[in-house]
Amino acid sequence: MSNQFTLNDSYKHKGLRRKLVQKVKEKGIYNDAVLNAIETVPRHFFLDSAFHELAYEDQAMQIGSGQTISQPFTVAYQTQVLDIVEGDKVLEIGLGSGYQACILLELGAVVYSIERIEPLFERTKALLSKLGYQANLFLGDGTIGLEQHAPFDKIIVTAAAPEIPDNLLNQLAIGGIMVIPVGGRENQIMYKVCRTSEKDYSKQALDGFRFVPLIGKKGWKR
């Protein structure tokens, strides 16, 4: 990707974000804090300048390295399922462009995020710093999680897993929530997982989605 952004958030961009909020609201996003975060974070900052005209369409887009920025509805959907409370310690598996992390930060979460692709990690780390967002960023295999920083109040997985990794379940705090797409490489079901006790979890199947595969020791091999 070329130098992908200038920090110019115009009235036009803000107007397009307001329209985007209406689109995701019509699709079922009702959490006011989530909607406010979608309206606040300039999505075009996270895309190559060639895609700026499409930044506020409700669609996923390529960000390089075979990865995508999820469509805004998907970002809002996963965030709404997490039911973020200010101060929540959140583990994000798949930093990607950094857009989802910034939505979580706008909600007052303390974010720990892992990215396996080094060029993408370095680019996003620099971008978040330039934007003034402070998150705890790690380069590595997201399927392993961050046991040294566990437990987490919430865990969000932004790539498709063949099954729910046990080690991520173990890093979820009692009373915590995980949202994760599970299934094949083409289509997945979003799951909400709640840890109800030391050994017990409840799992709720939600809606169908399409994500890039979760690559790693506890995910897809390639």
| Residue 6: pLDDT band with limits 50, 70, 90 | low
Instruction: State residue 1's pLDDT score.
Output: 39
| Closest-CA residue to 187 (of 215, 212, 222, 214) | 212
Query: Phi-psi bin for 57: left (phi > 0), alpha (psi -120 to 50), beta?
Result: beta
Give bridge partners of residue 202 from the DSSP assignment: 194
Which pLDDT tens digit goes with each residue over 37-82? Answer: 999 999 999 998 888 889 999 999 989 888 989 999 999 999 999 9
CATH class of 11-209: alpha beta
Which pLDDT tens digit goes with each residue over 134-173? Answer: 999 999 999 999 999 999 999 999 999 999 999 999 999 9
Half-sphere exposure of 72 (CA within 13 A, CB side): 31
* Catalytic residue flag (residue 2): no
| Residue 121: pLDDT band with limits 50, 70, 90 | very high
Give the active site residue among 49, 70, 97, 202: 70
pTM, whole model, 2 decimals? 0.94
**Rounded to whole angstroms, how far apart are CA atoms 217 and 157?**
15
**Rounded to whole angstroms, how far apart are CA atoms 19 and 30?**
15
